[in-house]
Amino acid sequence: MRRVFQRRHLLGIEGMSGAEIVAILDAAESFFDVSRRSVRKVPTLRGKTVINLFFEASTRTRTSFELAGKRLSADVINISPSTSSTTKGEGLLDTVQNLQAMQPDVLVIRHGASGALHHVAPRVRAAVVNAGDGMHEHPTQALLDAFTIRRQKGKVEGLTVTICGDILHSRVARSNVHLLKALGAQVRLAGPRTLLPAAAASLGAEVFHRLEPALEGADVVMMLRIQRERLQGAFLPTSREYSRVFGLNAARLRLARPDAMVMHPGPVNRGVEIDPAVADGEQSVILDQVEAGVAVRMAVLWMLAAEPSEAPPAAG
Amino acid sequence: MAAPVPAQVVPAHTTLPLLIITGVRAVDPAQRLDAVVDVVMEGGSISRIGRGAATQDLLQSEQAMVVRGDGLLLLPAFIDMHAHLREPGQEYKEDIASGLAAAAAGGFAHVCAMPNTRPVNDTRAVTEAMIARARSVGGPALHPIGAITVGQRGQELTEMADLKEAGAVGVSDDGRCVTSSAVMRRALEYASTFDLAVIQHAEDHALTEGAQMHEGAISTRLGLRGWPRVAEDIIVARDVLLAEATGARYHVAHVSSLGAVRILREAKSRGISVTAEVTPHHLTLTDEAVIGYDAVCKVNPPLREQADVDALREALADGTIDVIATDHAPHSSLEKDCEFVEASPGMLGLELVVPVLLGLVRAGNLPLGRVVDALTRAPARVVGLDAPTLAQGARAELCLVDPEHRYRLDPSRLRSKSRNTPLLGRELCGQVCLTMAGGRIVFVDPLIEAQRSAPQAPGGAGS
């Protein structure tokens, strides 16, 4: 399966083939059980170094990458430069080249600027993994979402997936649209026009300005976080109105298929984009997504950094 | 073209007593000229032009320097009414000497320098200093554009009478839009008192906060904040109304959107005193160039879509857009080799006008005569200069172009201090061989000239 994925870096989902994506998901299946054993460690990345370089605050993603590296026996370092020191002083490229000089195998980078990783990746020998770049992509989030969907539904192809919220500013939405389309799902994007990109339909998704029709017959409902600053930029009048018109509650969820999965990449704004009863309800897989994140990131690190002789552990 | 360079045949920065170009296709819309002619220049002026103008007597004169023009184009030298030469203040990107050298290599005899220097050119002192510096350098003439408002802050008007007396040929806050309708109205009224065109950078900044590229399908994919067309259109529409109300001369810098074209066409049809310019890059590139996040393709206004490119070409062809201006905007690797959002907007232009525009001519998008007009007479009218022309008796301001010369754009070819052009490494066709400004040779391409010229030394007899 590694032969299918021949990339040096994981910068985004756009441009990846369905076969490449499936190869990562299959590998993640093999790693999934490692985290449920009593000894949660395999020797796959012994002697390898992974640096997590997070220019934006993150708890979930950074922890997930850190655990993924550690459970593969890699040496993992976390660095969180404050953004202000890098904009005024040392640039991203300098930081990355200095880290490169210490010979890491993988650089996991989150950065606030779209395309920042595309700028540095060609200049380093280490594999670069995009842990979120600006409003562009967050590929491992889309992979763990697909992993979660596939585990529950058995497939992704042919499913209808509704993504609702701040599509305009969301790297999660972009990566998910590319991935779900590559695997043959139908994607719907829903939100007020202020939070939809100028050319949302050009991504290849169906666009809705109301949540209800977007939910009809959906197999998967993915709600995105609404950030407070959207209220300042005149994107939204109030969180109350957003919640009233675009929030997912039990009544609206009934418009989707009875077995629809409710997903959220986190962090959840309870009571804004999603009703607590739904977030914690039977259809919610929000915590399954978090668990899947470790396995998917183990698979990605394995694909990019393991010696060719290192196979993933047998699944099961 | 890597052959060793023989001794330069035509020394630069000289006035030759007798320079003859034989059998050259000369194109000058001002003279309705497009014919193969000989051109004889004596003492820096065109003394004879026409078929057979180079008589045997002249060719055999002791002082004659003869250039064979077969296969070449002779054009009036160009005027760039929109360049950023970065001096004073940012000489690590460009300075007046390197900027004028780049202009000479591009076929320009006149360059208008935008005022967003450090300090801003909002006073007589800065204007005079720039002109003095340019005179000491030699080469093409430099004509400063003064700021509209003090510090380009959009509030108080500059001393425009003083600026004009010092040599400024127009006013602009380029890089910043004059957002306030009241200030713009007063600027138009005041500038017209002194017959200065007001050159607007049309951008409603409230609509472009954080904008990185054209708002559309590509910005959606790349996750870069969009610069919508309407931010340009709103300002052009408002300014056209102000120009109508004040009767002042209004000029739109670097038009990029099809909406602005439509507004300009309507304004011109109603006789409003409005002119506009377009850059070579907006005529040839689209937002697809930004895929891959190459900051070299970040410009302001941004590269737009094919529909805009088509509208701009059509508008240039039919005269809705008057002028081609480069918006030459040199930046060092500090401003370009970084994250896209951190990069400064702008790309080089001065040295690339001929290959880029000849490409459009060759593809049938624009007639050569219209391109030449847009680089000579049209900007001359806006900024009040005498347009270079190939008329008999005129001061020699011309450029000789090899339209078929193919080469790869090597960074070492560029006279500019900066390298920010997406054309680096690309195959180009069309090269300026010789530029004359103010009656003097200001540029000669040694390689081409060595190939082309008869084997003779300056002052030697013609064969």
Instruction: Please tell me the number of Cα atoms within 13 Å of B274 on its side-chain side.
Output: 31
Amino acid of residue B458? P
Please check whether the domain covering A9-137+291-305 is classified as CATH 3.40.50.1370: yes
Test A134 with B341 for CB contact under 8 angstroms.
yes
What domains lie within chain B, and their CATH numbers?
Answer: 7-75+392-453 (2.30.40.10), 77-383 (3.20.20.140)
Test A113 with B341 for CB contact under 8 angstroms.
yes
Indicate which residue of B38, B327, B373, B402 is catalytic: B327
Chain A contact set for B338 (CB, 8 A)? 91-93, 119
Task: Look up the pTM and report it.
Answer: 0.93
Amino acid of residue B130? M
Whether chain B has a CB inside 8 Å of the CB on A118: the answer is yes
Domain spans of chain A? 9-137+291-305, 139-288
Each of the 463 residues of chain B gets a pLDDT tens digit; together they read 333 333 345 556 666 789 999 999 999 999 999 999 999 999 999 999 999 999 999 999 988 889 999 999 999 999 999 999 999 999 999 999 999 999 999 999 999 999 999 999 999 999 999 999 999 999 999 999 999 999 999 999 999 999 999 999 999 999 999 999 999 999 999 999 999 999 999 999 999 999 999 999 999 999 999 999 999 999 999 999 999 999 999 999 999 999 999 999 999 999 999 999 999 999 999 999 999 999 999 999 999 999 999 999 999 999 999 999 999 999 999 999 999 999 999 999 999 999 999 999 999 999 999 999 999 999 999 999 999 999 999 999 999 999 999 999 999 999 999 999 999 999 999 999 999 999 999 999 876 555 555 444 444 333 3
Asked whether the CA dihedral B74, B77, B78, B83 is positive or negative, the reply is positive
Length of chain B: 463
Chain A contact set for B340 (CB, 8 A)? 113-116, 119
Of B212, B293, B339, the CB nearest to A92: B339
Token pair in block for residue A203: 């991504």
Chain A contact set for B226 (CB, 8 A)? 197-198
Test B293 with A115 for CB contact under 8 angstroms.
yes
Q: Chain B residue with minimal CA distance to A201?
A: B217
Interface of A with B in 45-74 (CB under 8 A): none
Q: Would you list the DSSP string of A99-160? A: HHTT--SEEEEEESSTTHHHHHGGG-SSEEEEEEETTTB-HHHHHHHHHHHHHHHS--TT-E
Whether chain B has a CB inside 8 Å of the CB on A203: the answer is yes
Closest by alpha carbon to A162, among A173, A146, A150, A147?
A173
Q: Determine how β-strand A106-111 pairs with β-strand A49-54.
A: parallel
- Mark out chain B residues that contact chain A at CB-CB < 8 A: 212, 215-217, 219-226, 228, 292-293, 295, 337-342
User: A178 with A205: CB under 8 angstroms?
Assistant: no
Chain B contact set for A189 (CB, 8 A)? none
| Test mutation, B333, B338, B339, chain A, max A CBs within 10 A | B339
Whether chain B has a CB inside 8 Å of the CB on A42: the answer is no
Strand order in the sheet with A75-79: A75-79, A49-54, A106-111, A127-133
Residue A81 three-state SS: coil
pLDDT of A1 > 70? The answer is: no
Test A203 with B221 for CB contact under 8 angstroms.
yes
Closest by alpha carbon to B192, among B375, B384, B327, B379?
B384
Asked whether the CA dihedral B413, B418, B423, B424 is positive or negative, the reply is positive
Q: Is B367 exposed, middle or buried (0-12, 13-18, 19+ CB in 10 A)?
A: middle
User: B126 with B150: CB under 8 angstroms?
Assistant: no
Q: For residue B45, what are the β-bridge partners?
A: B42, B395
Test B225 with A198 for CB contact under 8 angstroms.
no
Q: What is the mean pLDDT of residues A245-266?
A: 97
Compute the nearest-CA separation of B355 from chain A (Å).
29
User: A168 with A234: CB under 8 angstroms?
Assistant: no
Compute the nearest-CA separation of A64 from chain B (Å).
24
Integer Cα distance of A313 and A7 in angstroms? 22
- Number of other residues whose CB lies within 10 A of the CB of residue A20: 19
User: B259 with B233: CB under 8 angstroms?
Assistant: yes
User: A79 with A53: CB under 8 angstroms?
Assistant: yes
Test A114 with B221 for CB contact under 8 angstroms.
no
Asked whether the CA dihedral B227, B230, B236, B242 is positive or negative, the reply is negative
Q: What is the mean pLDDT of residues A191-219?
A: 96
Test B339 with A14 for CB contact under 8 angstroms.
no
- Assigned CATH for A139-288: 3.40.50.1370
User: B310 with B276: CB under 8 angstroms?
Assistant: no
CA angle B385, B389, B391 (to 5 degrees): 130
Compute the nearest-CA separation of A174 from chain B (Å).
7
Q: How far is CA B158 from the centre of its chain?
A: 25
